Structure 1
């Protein structure tokens, strides 16, 4: 170790997840104040077109910007690892939709 460089240690954090309730989300709205960032999560049942109604939000996370930055770094590492293993993630839904072949019929020989 170089002289004058403090050794960085990451203490073990004891976590109690006994009351944890999982939630699925495919929508996130980000707002904030000068002191906090606010993340609202919900389920968008119409991801391909105009929604028939408002997106119902189910959970809100409020944290300070220091915690938000740590979350950003942790999510970035997780996504990078996923893409290294499984390939790039395309976030534009329209680019991921497979169009039916011209003619729309079944393949020959079916």
Structure 2
């Protein structure tokens, strides 16, 4: 790569001389209009050019009748940004698991069954 700027999330690398390692440069970020939303459900779809990720809240408790999941946020990325996001998320999850233990995504494996007492 010749002289150019590559940006990736919260920092970028200036590749002026390929023989010298890239030094991280801070990227100015304006968070004054950021919206924070909780989601426990996501749906991933896409087109040949873009990846579409919808987020929402699943209020359903395991074993109950299914409620409609209301989608509240949509992120549309190109696949280059999506790949960088996937790598960043994988690193964040790996760090979390290293500190706190493996995350089990199968709800049935996370349930702790309590022994039932004698019936009267």
Q: What TM-score do you get using the length of structure 1 for normalisation?
A: 0.83
SS of match in other structure, 2:84: helix
The unaligned stretches of length 5 or more in structure 2 are 1-17
The 5 Å alignment of 1:23-34 reads 23-34=37-48
Structure (1/2) with the larger strand percentage: 2
Distance 2:48 2:117 in 1: 55
SS of match in other structure, 2:25: coil
Distance 2:72 2:92 in 1: 24
Structure with the bigger RCO (C-alpha within 8 Å, sep 6+) is 1
Equivalent of 2:116, from 88, 93, 102?
Answer: 102
Q: What TM-score do you get using the length of structure 2 for normalisation?
A: 0.77
- The total of aligned residue pairs comes to 102
The unaligned stretches of length 5 or more in structure 1 are 106-110
CA shift, 1:9, in A, is 3.0
**Could you list the per-position Cα deviations for residues 42-74 of structure 1 after superposition, in whole angstroms to 9, with x for gaps in the alignment?**
000114135432100000000000000000010
